[in-house]
Copies of this chain bind each other. A is one copy, B any other.
Amino acid sequence: MEHGEIPILRSIEEVRFFTKERPLGFVPTMGCLHEGHISLVRRAREECATVIVSVFVNPLQFGSGEDFTRYPRDSERDMALAKEAGADAIFMPEAAELYPEGFTTEVRVRRIEDVLEGVARSGHFAGVATVLAKLLNIIGPESMYMGQKDAQQAFLVGRMIQDLNFSTRLVVCPTIREYDGLAMSSRNVYLKPEERSAATIISRALFTARDTGSTDPRVLEETVHNALAAEPLVALEYVFANDAATLGPVGPNTGEILLSLAARVGKTRLIDNVLVKRS
Contacts and interface: CB of A to CB of B under 8 A. Distances in A.
Contacts of A134: 163-165
A233 interface: no
14 contacts: A104-B111, A104-B163, A105-B108, A105-B109, A105-B129, A105-B164, A107-B107, A107-B108, A107-B164, A130-B164, A134-B164, A137-B166, A137-B167, A138-B165
A159 interface: yes
Interface in A1-39: 12, 16
Nearest to A108: B106
A133 B164 CA distance: 6
Of A107, A108, A165, A166, most B-chain CB atoms within 10 Å: A165
Nearest to A110: B104
Contacts of A111: 104
A252 B43 CA distance: 55
Contacts of A103: 163
Contacts of A159: 102, 104-105
Interface string A80-114: 00000000000000000000001111111111100
Contacts of A133: 107, 133, 164
A11 to B, nearest CB: 12
B105 A107 contact: yes
